[in-house]
Structure 1
Amino acid sequence: MSLDMSLAETRLQRLTAHEALQRLEHERASRLTQLRAIDEAEAEAEEQVMAAQKGTIQRILTEVEAAVARVQDGSYGTCQGCAKPIPVERLEILPYTRFCVPCQRNAA
């Protein structure tokens, strides 16, 4: 096993379910705040742009909810493409991600 892999595994172990849920709750709160701001500004903005933004935020909220379910069933942090651990750095940036970077590229 390489040094890089053992460091990644050690860092992954430090992201506890509680920490993951905290990050996901923060993500959820941020997106809900964005949705409220869009709803308030909708009268002033172009309807098409606002609809696209709302759609994106709602998609992310769906991903956040799915990530919460993965935390609860114990599969959080495991790539759904290759079944390897997702690096903790990626989970810190995108706490709701389902894929490691290589698998995300293949899924897109």
Structure 2
Amino acid sequence: MSSLDTSPTEGRPERLTAHEARQRLEHERNARLTQLRALDEAGREAADQVTAAQKDAVQRVLAEIEAAFARVHDGSYGTCAGCSRPVPAERLEILPYTRFCVACRRHGA
């Protein structure tokens, strides 16, 4: 069983399948690309620091999403980069490109 396979725990999967992970990441990537296009349009009308900061933030998230696709490919997706434990499926549902569990993120990992 790969680290992305699901095993029912109280009716909820413990881990996302690779297919589910890819779907969530595709959705996040498409949403961020849409944001970036909207910011580009807004930037043409008013090139200001706020728009530039928003674009930078969206581009950072896109880079994190691409890195998550690489983790799906190499089999490390869903494993916390801080403690090496599985990232809960609930967290991955909310933030599919995260590299950390809540505890490690909270402690600055």
Q: TM-score, normalised by structure 2?
A: 0.85
* Alignment gaps of 5+ in structure 2: 1-7
Counterpart-to-counterpart distance in 2, 1:12 and 1:68: 20
1:65 to 2:66 alignment = yes
Higher helix share: 1
Listed as ranges, the matches of 1:12-91 within 5 Å are 12-13=14-15, 15-45=16-46, 47-91=48-92
Counterpart-to-counterpart distance in 2, 1:7 and 1:46: 50
Q: CA RMSD in A?
A: 1.8
* Alignment gaps of 5+ in structure 1: 1-5
1:7 is matched by which residue type in structure 2? Answer: T
- How many residues were matched structurally? 101
Counterpart-to-counterpart distance in 2, 1:12 and 1:62: 26
Q: TM-score, normalised by structure 1?
A: 0.86
Deviation string 1:19-73 (CA, Å, 9 cap, x unpaired) is 0000000000000000000111113345100010001000000000000000000
Aligned identity (percent) is: 67
